[in-house]
Structure formats: structure tokens, C-alpha cells
Amino acid sequence: MNIRLKPGKDKPVRNGHPWIFSGAVAKVEGYVDPCDRLCTVYSVDGERLGVGYYNDKSTIRVRMLSVDTVVNTAVNKNVNTNRSALPPLTFTVKDLHSRIRQSIDTRKRNGVLTANAVDYTDSCRLVNSEGDFLPGLIVDKYGSGVCMQIGTAGMECWRGAIVEALSDIVNPTFIYERSDTASREREGLPSSEGLIAGTLPETLAITENGVKYKADLRAGQKTGFFFDQRENRALLRRYAAGRNVCDCFSYSGGFTINAALGGAATVVAVDSSEEAGACLSENARLNDVSDIAKFQKSDAFAFLRQLPPGCDGSSIDLLILDPPKFANHPSEVDRAARGYKEINLAGLRALAPGGILFTFSCSGAVDPYLFRQIIFGAAADARRAVQILHVLTAGPDHPINIAHREGEYLKGLVLRVQSF
């Protein structure tokens, strides 16, 4: 199957962007095999750009797997290419295995998985979709097992090959699937969940930077745990000693537990979910910090608003704001921006002078510059002087394709807050 692009729509593909939207496609040539979906992409002038997989049910019509370096090198050097003599371009099961192996080897080399007693880590993300040049595939390591998530119709075609590759490369004690995302519905796919191979422990405990957590693959967020905040949780621990900490939208307590282990005087974890609170309490018990880490069931917005202003006696001097995604689509950015400003305004007002704010957005539609502008506006309205100490993103087990700005979904700032 061949895809012809409209005039001017080839540049992002040449530069490595993995998505081709419906509005960029001029013509589809050939049979669309629902069990294969591989396609070759051409410019309006007939230049071969690369190979990807196609789905006419998705707004993202093509997700690129590779760019044709032969043609693009010639184009960049202004060299005429004999297109009829070009080697065939495809993406095979062997290529899939190779790319999964490369992703896992990268984690081994960059120190994400460590055996050191102090920062021992046995769990992380192994394959990060577009960030590892495998759009639609996420694989997370949970101790000796793995959990996979297939989000696109193209990757669904290679389900068996993915399981085979993981069995061969990782040799896991279990392979569990959590393909239950909204993206599957947009791709015309049903949800798919459950144990694929091996035995899933009744209680699954993982270790990250020496901290123990209970992971729920069946019902937890994402595939069962938020691995993307790994390095940011470790950074928080460095700031926690002697402080009174409030962790809003605490979920299962990743930041809460690290604050307690970092020597915080008190830690209050705020979340509206009783189930999250129960998991947090279990994680506190696993790490022997139940006497410090306390859960409070409450709406985070309401909780912060009822606190006395920081300059008038609030005792909170380290605050974490890690809310759920406020924008699922670019059309929701304005509403999300209002939500981020509101929660950060309440947090900035509540912090004691000299306090530290860890604030995050996981909305991919809200870019880092906009997020920074939102915090600037909240600081101005709160009449607080703010210093940026750190600019944060996801850890190295969540690499980002530099051509794929949309992959930079997690952004955060660490701020020191004073009065004007």
C-alpha cells in the first residue's frame, strides 16, 4: 500500500516526526490489509519518504516506523536518485525484535536499572512508544515480569511478535497486558486486558531508588505505576529534611513516601480517592514511615483554599502539585490552563515564605512554555516572588523523539517562593 502526501506535507516526515494526519494525505493507493497495515509514504513528487502503518479510522492516518535515509540523503545533497533502483523498504518482525532489544539495552546502559543497595531499582519503562521509535507500544518492567500496552491498530497486528520478543529478550516470569487506553477506541480497537503468559503474583511489590511500592497491574493508573516521576521523586527527597510537606493529588504516595524517607517533619497526602489512600498507607507501611506519612481524603483545590495564607501562619513549606491530566486534546487547553492556574494560585498562597513548590503538568497538549506562563500568572496574582530552581521532565526511561514535541507530555518546575 502506498500513501501520497499533499504538497508541503513532507517536511515533518523528512525531519523524523512520526505522525501523518489525515489532512496531509492526498491519496491512498492499494489494498488496506487490516492484518498488516504497513505502507510506503511518498511525497507529492513521488519521492519515497519512509515506511509506517496506516489506519483510516484514526485522525493520525500514518505512524512512521522509519525514514528512507537513501532518498533523504540524496535530497539533502541535491543529488538525483534513480528511484527504480532503490532497495525495497519495509519493516519486518526482525526489525521489531531489534528495536525492542535496542530499547531495553539502552535502559541497561544508562543506569536506570541498578543493583546498588542504596538506589536499587528493579522496575522501569522498557519501551516508550514514539520515544523509542515504536509508536503505539509501551512496555513496563515490574520486578521480574513485564506489562505491555498496545495503543494502535498497527502494533496490534504484531501482538504475537511482541510477546515473542519480550519472552526472548527479557525472559519474564509473567507478561500482563493493559491495553485499555482511550487511544484504542480512537483506533477502532476494543480494550484488551489480562495475563498473557506466566504467573502474576497475588501481591506485586517493586523497588525504585531503594523505595518499595505496591503495584496494581489490574486496576492501577497507566500500566499500574507512574514510572515517569522516578527522578523527580528522588530530587524531592533532597529537599524534604525538616520540612512540613503537603502532597496534593498524592495517588499511591510516590512523593509522600520519598518526603518521609528524606526526613520530613510531617507529611500530609491529599487525594479524593479512598482506594489511593489505602494504597498509600500500604506503601508507607512497606517503607516504615507510617508514623510520618498521613493520608487525608479531600479535594485538593478545596483543601488548599481552606489553609491560612502562607504569610499569615501556614506551616506548609514544601508542596507538591501533581494533578491528573487536565487536557486530553488541544481543544481543551484553555480549560486546562484555567485549572492549572487555579491550583497553583491556591498553592502559592498557602506556602510559607521560603517554601518549595514542586508543580507538574502531564497534559501533552499544554507545552512547557505555556505551563511556565501559567505559573508566572499565578505567582503574579498571588503576589509571591518566585525563583525557578529546577526544570523537570520524565526520566531517561521515557526518552523523547526530538522531532516529536507531543511526546514531551510531563513537565515540571521546582520553585522557591517568597513574598513581594
Q: Which residues are catalytic?
A: 362
Please check whether residue 398 is in contact with residue 228, taking contact to mean a CB–CB distance below 8 angstroms.
Answer: yes
Listed in sequence order, the residues at least 6 apart from 86 whose beta carbon sits closer than 8 Å to its beta carbon are 48, 68, 70, 71
What are the grid coordinates assigned to 125, written together?
519503562
Half-sphere exposure for 59 (CA within 13 Å, toward CB):
4
Nearest Cα neighbor of 334 from 381, 378, 374, 379 is 374
Please check whether residue 151 is in contact with residue 136, taking contact to mean a CB–CB distance below 8 angstroms.
Answer: yes
What are the grid coordinates assigned to 30, written together?
492499494
Q: How far apart are CA 141 and CA 129, in angstroms?
A: 14
Name the burial class of residue 291, with classes exposed (0-12), middle (13-18) and buried (19+) by CB atoms within 10 angstroms of its CB.
exposed
Q: How far apart are CA 110 and CA 260, in angstroms?
A: 28
**Other CB atoms within 10 A of residue 52 CB:** 26
CA angle 119, 223, 54 (to 5 degrees): 125
3-state secondary structure of 5: strand
Straight-line distance from the first to the last Cα atom of the chain, in angstroms, rounded to the nearest whole number: 63
Over 212-232, what HEC string results?
A: EEEECCCCCCCCCCCHHHHHH
Provide the phi-psi class of 401: left if phi over 0, else alpha when psi is between -120 and 50, else beta.
beta
Listed in sequence order, the residues at least 6 apart from 331 whose beta carbon sits closer than 8 Å to its beta carbon are none
Q: How would DSSP label each residue in 397-408?
A: TS---TT-GGG-
